[in-house]
């Protein structure tokens, strides 16, 4: 499944090269590409420094590290960081996810089998069921859970002591976490999108591990199309490597990277076919808007949800499209990106178009 910043968004086709969620090939190769310690982890300077302090202090005290909440879009390194936390603390890690824990009993079984100091990585923590979430409050605070035995009036709660552990929760939607859960994390880190220079370093590092030869300009070309996301950078690197191997001498130059990504329809700003179709429709059919989401979706032959949740977040982030109460409008940057001239006296958001298509 490939989509941006939302785990409930619809799929935009299996071959979405710039989707931020991990596909099967990513899962197979990512283990080999993950940085193993904080020094190897590229970018996110502030998070790295803060986490370094939290972990060093815990180690000096001989204590278990505080619970850590990592928030940020898919593919920015939350799973990687959780593994680094365990490695830096010299403890094992157990990995599970919110949707996998539907019953409080599932969580009790995991918690009661943890070793002392172990890291429990709970991905998509905002998607846990409510009873499990409530059990987690007590487990995080008191290292204890109440296991309910029996049903109805005869049900009894048996307290169960847990070994101290470190919960690392990851979420793409920190705002969806109930405050009592959020408050129980000793350290919260928000992961930002990566800058081009950081992505270039990710690409050079991965190229080294994959034994691929990449020129400085080649890495820059891939970085610019990676939508601020290391996972996408690594994926584009693999596709460009294929092209360089089949069509050239294996070396990734700027020209090879640009040609390869043209074949895969990822443009110089990281937009793919769907993103550009939305922009084209908005500019060419609706004069830059405002246009209602449903109309826009019909124009590009996609579901409304696909346009809203798969294409739009990145277009908005890039400042190419704006969501307004009157509908979607294109920004001047969108016209420039597609090499088009905005219509005179109106265009995007022009007064004459109000109400034409309704939001």
Q: Which residues are catalytic?
A: 78-79, 123, 172, 231
Distance CA 313, CA 310 (A): 7
Distance CA 118, CA 127 (A): 22
Quick one: which of 61, 246, 277 has its CA closest to 164? 61
Was 286 annotated as part of a binding site?
Answer: no
Stretch that binds ligand ATP, among 42-50, 174-182, 213-221, 334-342 (CB under 6 A): 42-50
Which residue lies nearest ligand ATP, judged by its C-beta? 77
| Least distance (Å) between residue 136 CB and ligand ATP | 19
75 is an interface residue for ligand ATP by CB under 6 A: yes
177 is an interface residue for ligand ATP by CB under 6 A: no
Judged by CB under 6 A, the residue of 2, 5, 12, 41 near ligand ATP is 41
80 is an interface residue for ligand ATP by CB under 6 A: yes
> What DSSP designation does 358 have?
-
Cβ distance to ligand ATP smaller for residue 166 or 234: 234
Cβ neighbors of 20 (< 8 A, separation 6 or more) are: 2, 3, 4, 5, 73, 74, 75, 227, 229, 231, 232
76 is an interface residue for ligand ATP by CB under 6 A: yes
Stretch that binds ligand ATP, among 33-41, 145-153, 179-187, 291-299 (CB under 6 A): 33-41
| Least distance (Å) between residue 199 CB and ligand ATP | 9
43 is an interface residue for ligand ATP by CB under 6 A: yes
Judged by CB under 6 A, the residue of 202, 237, 282, 329 near ligand ATP is 202
Place of tokens 């069509």: 247
126 is an interface residue for ligand ATP by CB under 6 A: no
Cβ neighbors of 300 (< 8 A, separation 6 or more) are: 274, 277, 278, 281, 307
Q: DSSP secondary structure string, 259-320?
A: HHHHHTT--TTS--HHHHHHHHIIIIITTT--B-HHHHHHHHTS-HHIIIIIIHHHHHHTTS
326 is an interface residue for ligand ATP by CB under 6 A: no
Stretch that binds ligand ATP, among 28-36, 154-162, 324-332, 351-359 (CB under 6 A): 28-36
| Least distance (Å) between residue 127 CB and ligand ATP | 12
Distance CA 100, CA 22 (A): 17
Was 328 annotated as part of a binding site?
Answer: yes
| Least distance (Å) between residue 122 CB and ligand ATP | 11
Stretch that binds ligand ATP, among 26-34, 49-57, 179-187, 317-325 (CB under 6 A): 26-34
Distance CA 16, CA 327 (A): 26
| Least distance (Å) between residue 295 CB and ligand ATP | 32
> Among the residues of 90-166, which ranges form H helices?
104-112, 130-142
CB 289 within 8 A of CB 349: yes
> What DSSP designation does 325 have?
T
Was 184 annotated as part of a binding site?
Answer: yes
Partners of 173 in beta bridges: none
Was 94 annotated as part of a binding site?
Answer: no
Cβ–Cβ contacts within 10 Å for residue 351, how many? 7
Distance CA 16, CA 2 (A): 6
77 is an interface residue for ligand ATP by CB under 6 A: yes
Stretch that binds ligand ATP, among 31-39, 128-136, 298-306, 344-352 (CB under 6 A): 31-39
231 is an interface residue for ligand ATP by CB under 6 A: yes
Judged by CB under 6 A, the residue of 30, 192, 265, 305 near ligand ATP is 30
Was 323 annotated as part of a binding site?
Answer: yes
Distance CA 124, CA 143 (A): 22
71 is an interface residue for ligand ATP by CB under 6 A: no
Annotated binding site for DNA: 304, 323, 328
Annotated binding site for Mg(2+): 79
Footprint of ligand ATP on this chain (CB under 6 A)?
Answer: 21-22, 30, 33-35, 41-44, 74-80, 123, 202, 230-231, 234
């Amino acid at each position: 499944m490939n989509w941006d910043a939302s785990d409930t968004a619809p799929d935009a086709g299996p071959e979405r090269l710039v989707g931020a969620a991990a596909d099967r090939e990513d899962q197979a190769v990512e283990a080999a590409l993950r940085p193993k310690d904080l020094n190897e982890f590229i970018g996110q300077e502030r998070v790295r420094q803060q986490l370094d302090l939290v972990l060093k202090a815990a180690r000096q005290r001989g204590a278990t590290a505080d619970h850590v909440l990592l928030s940020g879009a898919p593919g920015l390194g939350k799973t990687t960081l959780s593994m680094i936390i365990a490695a830096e603390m010299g403890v094992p890690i157990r990995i599970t996810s919110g949707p996998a824990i539907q019953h409080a009993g599932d969580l009790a079984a995991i918690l009661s089998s943890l070793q002392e100091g172990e890291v429990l990585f709970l991905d998509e923590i905002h998607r846990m069921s409510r009873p499990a979430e409530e059990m987690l409050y007590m487990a995080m605070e008191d290292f204890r859970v109440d296991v309910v035995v029996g049903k109805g009036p005869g049900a009894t709660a048996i307290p169960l002591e847990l070994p101290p552990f470190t919960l690392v929760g990851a979420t793409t939607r920190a705002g969806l976490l109930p405050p009592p859960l959020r408050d129980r994390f000793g350290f919260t880190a928000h992961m930002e999108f990566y800058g081009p220079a950081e992505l270039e370093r990710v690409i050079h590092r991965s190229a080294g591990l994959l034994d691929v030869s990449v020129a400085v300009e080649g890495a820059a070309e891939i970085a610019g199309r990676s939508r601020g996301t290391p996972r996408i950078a690594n994926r584009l690197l693999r596709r460009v490597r294929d092209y360089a191997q089949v069509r050239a001498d294996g070396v990734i130059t700027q020209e090879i990277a640009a040609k390869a990504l043209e074949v895969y329809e990822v443009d110089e700003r990281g937009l793919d076919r769907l993103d550009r179709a939305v922009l084209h429709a908005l500019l060419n059919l609706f004069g830059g808007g405002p246009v209602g989401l449903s109309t826009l979706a019909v124009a590009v032959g996609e579901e409304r949800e696909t346009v809203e949740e798969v294409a739009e977040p990145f277009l908005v982030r890039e400042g190419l499209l704006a969501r307004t109460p009157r509908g979607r409008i294109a920004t001047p940057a969108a016209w420039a990106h597609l090499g088009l001239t905005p219509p005179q006296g109106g265009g995007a958001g022009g007064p004459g178009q109000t109400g034409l298509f309704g939001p």
